């Protein structure tokens, strides 16, 4: 496998990996290899690591892993913020040195050096603003306002006092252990901005994703244009190469592989950055699309998790009740009975059985597409203003 083929395989596998992470837990893929691989990546491997650590090092190994996980994943720390700044600055420096310094080209004016700098500066400003923004911290001063915005649905939230903040949690709020605060309309804790995403800053978080996506697309398209200009300047398309399969010299012309191989040889750093930008653009597209889908449905990331957890717990309770009713000795028989199966067919030897899940109550917080986006863009303006 040559470098070009390896690149295509790598990008394809990365896209599949992102797809599994985003959609592996959806009901559509329940009981399929997609669901199994999602469980393996997100839980199975780490459960295995904990198990091996316990077997080899005993309680000391498990305690060390717990402390490491707590420090890196469950407490606020600026590690990924620093990583983002380093990636942004280093990538821009290399891009400027490798590509922008060659401008102008025919059809590619020199002002792209300034628009590239402006794009990076915009992303940096939005990143800093999003990191410093208030996600909607629940305090005694804001408690009444946030409590009046929604009602409890008793699926994702119920009437409960926060043991840490000693406040009655407003509907749709959650206490974030990493930031040690309750957040209104809690979506998730984002390690990249080292802060929570909630009612007041979800719009800035979406802007942050959008700016980075546009920066990646702009950098990728501009890089392709500059490489194309370099090909014309060096008259690479008029060159010939020996093709062993045809046993003769062949003019490069518009053949993709020899053009890419020449670009990799002459501008290896720049092409590497372009590959990185393409991968980053793919990831940003998936992540931004996922969050826009949640906004359109009037739902948060945390609520999707809570609703799925509620469904699993309700399904398990129904299976236990069925076991008592039918006098079954093990839950495997209950799974077969509840799914209408008598033999428990499988696709693969490791495939988990498809279960008949209990229906989730309707989502109370979706008020229509326009109202849902209004709530995110103008969180403190009543949705009635839309009409």
- pLDDT tens, residue order, the chain (387 aa): 566 677 677 777 877 887 787 777 766 677 788 888 888 888 888 888 888 888 888 888 888 888 777 776 677 889 899 999 999 999 999 999 999 999 998 889 999 999 999 999 999 999 999 999 999 999 999 999 999 999 999 999 999 999 999 999 999 999 999 999 999 999 999 999 999 999 999 999 999 999 999 999 999 999 999 998 888 887 877 777 667 766 777 776 777 777 777 888 888 889 889 989 998 998 899 899 999 999 999 999 999 999 988 888 888 888 787 777 766 555 555 555 444 444 443 343 344 445 677 788 889 999 999 999 999 999 987 755 544
195 & 272 share domain: yes
CB atoms within 10 A of CB 81: 17
Last residue of a domain, one of 298, 313, 336: 298
Q: Decide if 173 is inside a domain.
A: no
98 & 197 share domain: yes
Last residue of a domain, one of 298, 320, 351: 298
Q: What is the dihedral of CA 218, 222, 224, 225, to 10 degrees?
A: 140
Q: Decide if 260 is inside a domain.
A: yes
Q: Decide if 165 is inside a domain.
A: no
d(CA 185, CA 295): 12
Q: Decide if 144 is inside a domain.
A: no
Q: What is the pLDDT of residue 347?
A: 40
Q: What total of structural domains would you count in the chain? A: 3
Q: What is the pLDDT of residue 354?
A: 53
Q: Decide if 37 is inside a domain.
A: yes
Q: Decide if 40 is inside a domain.
A: yes
23 & 94 share domain: no
Phi and psi at residue 249, to the nearest 5°: -80, 135
338 & 241 share domain: no
d(CA 375, CA 387): 13
d(CA 297, CA 291): 10
119 & 190 share domain: yes
127 & 20 share domain: no
Q: What is the pLDDT of residue 328?
A: 57
Domain containing residue 47: 1-74
238 & 102 share domain: yes
Q: What is the chain's alpha carbon radius of gyration, rounded to the nearest angstrom?
A: 26
Q: Decide if 358 is inside a domain.
A: yes
10 & 132 share domain: no
Last residue of a domain, one of 28, 59, 74: 74
198 & 323 share domain: no
Q: Decide if 195 is inside a domain.
A: yes
231 & 271 share domain: yes
Q: What is the pLDDT of residue 350?
A: 41
31 & 89 share domain: no
Closest of 252, 223, 250 to residue 236, by C-alpha? 252
315 & 264 share domain: no
């Amino acid at each position: 496998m040559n470098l070009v083929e390896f690149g295509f395989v790598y990008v394809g596998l990365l896209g599949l990996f992102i797809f599994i992470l985003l959609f592996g837990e959806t009901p559509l893929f329940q009981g399929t290899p997609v669901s199994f691989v999602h469980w393996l990546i997100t839980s199975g491997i780490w459960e295995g690591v904990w198990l091996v650590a316990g077997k080899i090092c005993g309680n000391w190994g498990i305690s060390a892993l717990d402390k490491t996980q707590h420090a890196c994943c469950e407490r606020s720390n600026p590690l990924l913020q620093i990583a983002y700044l380093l990636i942004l600055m280093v990538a821009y420096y290399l891009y400027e040195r490798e590509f922008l310094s060659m401008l102008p080209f025919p059809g590619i004016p020199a002002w792209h050096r300034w628009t590239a700098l402006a794009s990076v500066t915009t992303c940096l400003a939005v990143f800093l603003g999003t990191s410093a923004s208030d996600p909607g911290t629940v305090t005694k001063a804001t408690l009444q306002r946030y409590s009046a915005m929604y009602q409890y649905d008793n699926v994702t939230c119920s009437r409960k006092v926060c043991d840490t903040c000693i406040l009655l949690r407003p509907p749709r709020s959650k206490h974030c252990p990493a930031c040690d605060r309750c957040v209104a309309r809690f979506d998730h804790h984002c390690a990249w901005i080292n802060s929570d995403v909630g009612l007041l800053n979800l719009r800035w978080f979406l802007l942050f994703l959008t700016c980075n996506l546009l920066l990646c697309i702009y950098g990728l398209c501009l890089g392709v244009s500059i490489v194309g200009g370099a090909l014309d300047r060096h008259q690479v398309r008029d060159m010939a190469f020996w093709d062993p399969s045809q046993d003769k010299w062949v003019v490069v012309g518009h053949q993709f592989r020899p053009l890419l191989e020449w670009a990799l040889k002459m501008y290896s750093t720049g092409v590497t950055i372009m590959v990185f930008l393409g991968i980053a653009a793919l990831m940003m597209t998936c992540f931004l699309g996922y969050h826009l889908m949640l906004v359109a449905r009037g739902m948060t990331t945390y609520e999707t998790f809570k609703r799925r957890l509620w469904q699993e717990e309700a399904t398990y309770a129904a299976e236990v009740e069925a076991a008592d009713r039918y006098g079954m000795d093990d839950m495997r028989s209950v799974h077969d009975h509840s799914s209408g199966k008598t033999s428990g067919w499988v696709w693969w030897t490791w495939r988990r059985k498809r279960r008949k899940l209990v229906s989730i109550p309707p989502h109370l917080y979706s008020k229509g597409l326009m109202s849902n986006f209004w709530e995110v863009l103008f969180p403190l303006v009543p949705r009635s203003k839309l009409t």
